[in-house]
Amino acid sequence: MAALAVLFAFCQSAHADLQLCNRMSYVVEAAIGLETKGTTETRGWFRIDPGQCRSVLQGEIKIDGLFVYARALAVYGASPLPQNGHADLCIVQDSKDNFVIPSARICARMEQRLVRFTAVNPTVNEQMFTANFAEEAEYTNEQARDAGIQRLLVIAGYDANPIDGIRGAKTDAALMQFLQDNKLAATAAGRSDFFDALIEAAQKPDGAGFAWCNETPHAVMAALGTEDKGTVTTRGWYRVAPGTCVRPEVGSQARRLFSFAEAVDTNGQSLKPPQRPLSWGGDTVLCTRAGKFELFDQKDCTLKGLSSAGFALIELAGRSGTTVRFK
C-alpha cells in the first residue's frame, strides 16, 4: 500500500527550496497546490523516480498551505496510490502538458479535472523543505530505487520477485539478463535515465510476460484474473490508453490468466450509442466491481453486491510472452 507521508514542521515564509522525495517502488507524476490568501494555485507535472528527490519550488516560500497529488505511471495499471485527501483541486490530465492553474478550486477548461490533493507539512533540513511519498515498507531512498527496479523488471517479464528493495542474487540475475537483452552496459542500472529503459521495456507489446495492447481510438479499462492452486483472484481496473500497452504485474509462476476489458468514453463510462460498445472477454464468469477492486471469492457475485463479467482464459504454460490486443 502506498501513501503520502505527512511530515510536520512548516512555516509560512522562508528562504528554502521545496523538494518532493519518492520513497515508493513506483515512478510517479506529482502536482502541487499552493494556497495563498484564500486562493489555491496548482502546478505540475513533476516526474519523480523511485529513490529520487526533486526540487519543485525555489527561493523564498510565502504560502499559507501546501497540497500534493501523485499518481503512478500508466505502465503499472491501476494506481496503487489512495484516492483520498483534503482538497479537490484542478489538474491537466495529460502528463505531457506542464501546467499552472492560478485558481484551481474550479476547473475552467475542458482539459482540466478535479482530483483529491493531500495537505502536507514538509520537514525542514539544511534550508530545504521536504515532503515524502512513502509505502508501508518504509523504504530508504536507496531501497526505494532497488524496489522500483524490481517492480518494473517483473512487469517486463523478468523474475525479480519478491519486490522488497533488497538486492539479492535473484534480482541481480534478472537485472543482468535485462541488461544483456537490451544491449546495455553493466553500469546502466546506476544511470539517471535507467527507469526510462525499464519503462520502455515494460511497454513493449511482444516482450516476455503478459501484456494488453490497445489498438482502438478509445481508452480501455481491463481486469485480470490470476489462478493460484485452483483459486482465482480478480483485480481491476487497469487503464490502457489508445495506442499503448500495459503489462499488469503477474507472478513468475502463473500458468493461467483470465482477461476482460471494455472501451470507455472520456468520463470512464461504457461506450453508448451512437458509438458501438466494445468489450473483450470469454466464457469464464468472474466477479468485478465498478471502482478499483481486488476480489478473492468468485461465487455469488450478485448476492454480494458485486458485478460480473465473462473473462477469457489465457494459457501461459510454454510461452515466453503473451499479448492480448484490443482492436
Note the pLDDT tens digit of each residue in 165-213: 999 998 998 899 889 888 999 999 999 999 999 999 888 766 556 888 8
**Is residue 4 pLDDT above 60, yes or no?**
no
> For residues 115 and 135, what is the distance between their CA atoms, to the nearest angstrom?
21
DSSP-derived secondary structure for 196-243: HHHHHHHH-TTSSEEEEEE-SSSEEEEEEEEEETTEEEEEEEEEE-TT
Give the pLDDT band (50/70/90) at residue 9: very low
> For residues 187 and 242, what is the distance between their CA atoms, to the nearest angstrom?
34
Helix H or strand E segment including 175: helix 169-181
Domain with CATH 2.60.40 in the chain: 2-135
**Is residue 5 pLDDT above 60, yes or no?**
no
DSSP-derived secondary structure for 36-48: ETTEEEEEEEEEE
Q: Nearest Cα to 103, choosing from 42, 62, 56?
A: 42
**Is residue 253 pLDDT above 70, yes or no?**
no
For the stretch 30-45, pLDDT in tens is 999 999 988 999 999 9
Give the pLDDT band (50/70/90) at residue 318: low
Q: Give residue 6's pLDDT.
A: 39
Give the pLDDT band (50/70/90) at residue 160: confident
Strand-pairing partners, residue 322, are 210
Strand-pairing partners, residue 55, are 19
Q: Give residue 126's pLDDT.
A: 66
51 Rama sector, left if φ>0, alpha if ψ -120 to 50, beta otherwise: left
Q: Give residue 11's pLDDT.
A: 42
- pTM attached to this predicted model: 0.66
The CATH class for the domain spanning 2-135 reads mainly beta
Q: Give residue 316's pLDDT.
A: 79
- Residue matched to cell numbers 511530515: 7
> For residues 227 and 182, what is the distance between their CA atoms, to the nearest angstrom?
31
